[in-house]
Structure 1
Amino acid sequence: MSMSGNLRKVGSLRKVGNLRSVRGLRKVAGLTRRGPRVDLSHPARSPLGSSVVKCVTYRKGVRQTPARDGDLVEAVGQVRKHDDGFVWLGLHEPTEREFAGIAELFDLHPLAVEDAVHAHQRPKVERYGQTLFAVFKTVCYVEHAELTATSEVVNTGEIMVFVGKEFVITVRHGRHGSLGPLREELEGTPDQLAQGPAAVLHAIADQVVDDYLVVADSVQADIDQVEAEVFAPEGARGADPGRIYQLKRELLELKRAVVPLGRPLQILAAKPMRLVAPEIQAYFRDVDDHLKRVTEQIAAFDELLNSILQAHLAQVTVAQNEDMRKITAWAAIVAVPTMVCGVYGMNFDHMPELRWQYGYGLVMGVIATACVLLYRGFRRSGWL
C-alpha cells in the first residue's frame, strides 16, 4: 500500500464509533514523556480514562517523542514514512467500538479482533496475512492468610498480541499482568528493542512464563502445608479434605493456562516466520524450555495431591477401624456382666446359689475378674 493510501486510511479514523475524532484519540493514545509507571492491577480499567494505556514509537530501539505528544496517527505515519521503527500500542479491555478504529488503521483481521475484544481464548499463535496474532494466559498467585476449602489460589487473565512489521498491539484482560514494568525494562536495553516487534513478543512470552514459575513455587508451598497437616499425628482428624480438593481445582486452572501454550511456543521457536527472525527464535526456544519445566511441575503437583488425598482417605479408614475395634472391645467387656445378670434374672424357683449367703459377693467378684482379664487382653492386642 502506498504512503498516500496509508494516510487516507489513517484519516478514516475520524468516522469511527467511540473514537469520535483524531483529536480525541490523541488525548488517550499514550504519554511519550516518561512518567509514573502504569499499573492496572486495580479494578479500574485505565487511569487515562480509556482502554488505551500507552502508545509509544521506537526507532532503532530508542523511544521517540512525536511532534504532537501522544499522537497515534502521527506515530503510525512517521513509522510508515521512515520504515525503520514500530509503534507499541497498549490496550486494556477495549470494547468493540473502541477497537474498531485501531483495527482499521492497522488492517487487523476481524476474527483476531473478535478474539481480542471478547477474550476467554486458549493460548495460541495464528497468522493473518502479514500479521501475527498470539494469545497468552496470564496467572497470578492470590495471597491468603489461611488456605480454606473456598480459597482462591490462582487468578487468570489474558494478553493478546498483534505483531506486524511496523507495530505491536497488546490487549490485556484481567486485573494483573501489567506490561508497564516490562516496557521500562525493554527501554533500558535498546539493542533488544532494535530487533523489532518480534523482540517485544518474546519479552511478553518470557514474562508470562516467568510468572508461571513464580505461581508454581507459591502453589508448592500450599501443597507442602497441606501435606504436613495430613501426615501430622492427628492428620486423619485435623486435615480438611476440602482444602485438598480446592488445591486440585486451582491447579487445574493453572494447568489450563500453562499446558496449551506448549504448541504455540514450539511454533514460534521452530517454524520459519517472516516476522520472527532466526535470532529471536533462539530465545523462544529458551522460553519453551522454561514452560516445559512448569508443565512438569504441574504434573508432579497433580500426582502429589492425588497421593495426599489417597493417604488422607486411608488414614480416615484406619482411624475408623481403630474406633470400631475399641467399640467392639468395650462391648465384649460389658457383655460379661450383662450375661451373668441375665442368667440370674430369670427368676426360677430352683436355681443354685440364689439363697447362698456369699452368692452376691462371689458373682460380683467373678464379673470384676472377667472384665479385668478382658481389658488386659484387649490392651495387649492394641484394641484399647
Structure 2
Amino acid sequence: MQTRLYAQGRVIEQDFGYAELPDRLRTHPDAVAWLDLLEPSATDLAAVAAEYGLHPLAVEDALAERERPKLDRYPDHLFVNVYAVSFDHGGEPPEVHKVEISAFVTARVLITVHKAEGTVDELVERWDADAGLAASGGIDFLLYGLFDVVVDSQYAAARKVDEAMDSIEDAMLGEGGAPRPVRMRGFALRRTLAQLRRAVAPMQDVVTEVSRPDGGLVDDDLRPYYRDVEDHAERALESIEHSLTRITELLDADLNEQSNILNDITRKLAAWAAIIAVPTAVTGYFGQNVPFPGFGQTWGFVESTALILIGGGALYFYLKKRGWL
C-alpha cells in the first residue's frame, strides 16, 4: 500500500497508514489523496468500498483479472480500468507485458488497484515532475498523471514493435523468400500486435469520456492536457494499425514469393520428366533390354540394388537440404 496527501499541488504527507487517511482528509479540507493497493484481497477492498461508498460492481471489476479497458460512471465516483504495457522483442517469441490498473475516482481520493507490480514509480515521478500544474488541479491532476503514464507506455511499445519489424522485413523481402524461423517470428509479432491493440484501442474513448465538459471532473486549465493524452492515444493506435497492416502485407508477400518458387521448381521437374520420358518411351516400346555388367549374375543384382539405394538416398538428402521434402 502507498499513500499520499496533496494540498495545493504539494505532497504534505505520505506513506501513512490506511486507517489514518480519513482523519487527515478532515484535518486538511482542501487536500486530496492517493491510495494505491497492490493485489488487495476481497476483504481489503470491501473495507475500502465501505469507507468511500464504492459500487459493488466496480469492486467486482477491480478484483477480476483481465477486465477490458473501460470507464464506468456511478453516482458518487468513476471506475476506470486501463493497461500499462511494455514490449520485449528480445525473447522468443516477442511478448507484450501488461500491468492492469483499476482506479476509483472519488471527490477527494484517487484509489488505484495494481494487479501486478510496475508503473507506480513512473506514476509518482510524473506527478512530481510538474508542481505548477499540480497546484491548479486536484483529483483531475492525479488522474491525468495516470492516463499520461499509461498512454506513454502504450505509445512506446507501439514504436518498439514497429522498429522490431525492420529486421523481419529485410529477411522476408530477400530473394527466395524468408526462412521458416523468420516467418514464425512474423506470425508471433502479429499475435503480439493483436494483444497490444486490445489494450490500446479503447484508451482514446476513455480519456475523452472523462474530460468531457459536462462531466464536472476536469477543469478548464487541465482540459488541454487531457486532449494531449487523447492525441497520444490516437497516435499509438494508428501506429499499431499501421504495423498490423505492414506485417500482414509482409507475410502475404512472402507467401507469394514461396508460391513463385514452388512454381519454378514444379516447372523444372516437369521439364526433366519430359526429357527422361523420351528414352523411357522408346526403350519401352521396343522392349530393349541390353546386357549390363553382371548380367545374369548374383553380384550384378547386388550392384544394381546398391546403385538404386545410393542414388535414391543421395537424391533424398539433396531435396531435403533444399527444403523440398
TM-score range, shorter chain: 0.7 to 0.9
One-letter amino acid of the structure 2 residue matched with residue 136 of structure 1: V
Could you tell me which residue of structure 2 aligns to residue 134 of structure 1? 80
Amino acid in the other structure paired with 1:319: I
Question: What amino acid does structure 1 have at the position aligned with 2:232?
Answer: H
1:89 corresponds to which letter in structure 2? L
Residues 116-139 of structure 1 deviation map (CA, whole Å, 9 limit, x = unaligned): 122422222222223122111221
Matched residue, 1:91: 37
Residue correspondence of structure 1 range 198-277 to structure 2 within 5 A? 198-237=140-179, 240-277=182-219
Checking the alignment, whether the CA contact within 8 Å between 2:159 and 2:239 is kept in structure 1 is no
1:350 aligns with none
> What TM-score do the two structures reach when normalised by structure 2?
0.82
2:3 aligned partner, one-letter code: C
Counterpart of 1:65 in 2: which secondary structure? strand
Whole-angstrom distance in 1 between the partners of 2:13 and 2:144: 25
2:275 is matched with: 333
Tell whether 2:50 aligns with 1:104.
Answer: yes
User: CA separation in 2, counterparts of 1:102 and 1:246?
Assistant: 41
Question: 2:25 aligns to what?
Answer: 79
Output one character per residue of 1:193-252: Cα deviation in whole Å (capped at 9) or x when no partner.
331111010111011111111101111122222211111123245564332222221111
Deviation digits for residues 61-119 of structure 1 (CA, Å, limit 9, x no counterpart): 221237xx713333322223431111111111111012121222222111111111224
Question: 1:310/1:181 Cα in 2 relative to 1: closer, same or farther (>3 Å)?
Answer: closer
Question: What is the SS of the residue equivalent to 2:97?
Answer: strand
| Map of 2:127 onto structure 1 | 186
Cα distance, 1:190 vs. partner?
2.6
SS for the counterpart of 1:235 is coil
- The separation in 2 between residues aligned to 1:236 and 1:185, in whole angstroms, is 43
For the pair 1:314 / 2:256, whether they are aligned, the reply is yes
Q: 1:319-368 CA distances to partner (integer Å, 9 max, x unpaired)?
A: 11111111112112222332333344358xxxxxxxxxxxxxxxxxxxxx
Q: CA RMSD in A?
A: 2.1
Separation of aligned partners in 2, 1:114 and 1:231: 49
Q: Give the distance between the partners of 2:87 and 2:253, measured in 1 at CA.
A: 27
Structure 1 residue 184 displacement after superposition: 3.2
- Matches of 1:239 and 1:231, distance apart in 2: 14
Secondary structure, aligned partner of 1:204: helix
| Percent identity over paired residues | 32
State the shift of 1:191 in Å.
2.6
* Partner secondary structure for residue 207 of structure 1: helix
Match of 2:6 among 46, 58, 73: 58
Structure-2 change in CA distance of 1:184 and 1:227 (3 Å): closer
Contact 1:269 1:282 in 2 (8 A): no
Between the aligned partners of 2:245 and 2:5, the Cα distance in structure 1 is: 48
CA gap of 1:344–1:71, structure 2 versus 1, over 3 A, is closer
Q: Is the 8 A contact 2:87 2:96 kept in 1?
A: yes
**Which one-letter code corresponds to 1:173 in the other structure?**
K
Aligned length: 288
Q: Which residue of 2 aligns with 1:174?
A: 116
Residue identity in the other structure for 2:132: D
**CA distance in structure 1 between the aligned counterparts of 2:128 and 2:237, rounded to whole angstroms:** 31
2:319 corresponds in structure 1 to none
**Per-residue displacement from partner, 1:278-304 (whole Å, max 9, x unpaired)?**
222221111111111111111111111
State the Cα distance separating 1:140 from its structure 2 match. Answer: 1.2
Q: Deviations over 1:7-36 (max 9, x none)?
A: xxxxxxxxxxxxxxxxxxxxxxxxxxxxxx
Report the TM-score, using the length of structure 1 for normalisation.
0.70
Aligned-partner residue type, residue 250 of structure 1: T
Structure 1 window deviating more from structure 2 (329-338 vs 102-111): it is: 329-338
Output the CA distance in 2 between the equivalents of 1:278 and 1:328.
75
Which residue of structure 2 aligns with residue 10 of structure 1? none
C-alpha distance in structure 2 between counterparts of 1:311 and 1:174, whole Å: 40
Deviates more, 1:234-243 or 1:326-335: 234-243
Partner of residue 49, structure 1: none
Q: Can you give the 5+ residue segments of structure 1 that lack an aligned partner in the other structure?
A: 1-51, 348-384
Paired position in structure 2 for 1:48: none
What are structure 2's unaligned runs of at least 5 residues?
Answer: 290-325
Q: Distance in 2 between matches of 1:264 and 1:254?
A: 16
Partner Cα separation in structure 2 for residue 264 and residue 73 of structure 1: 31
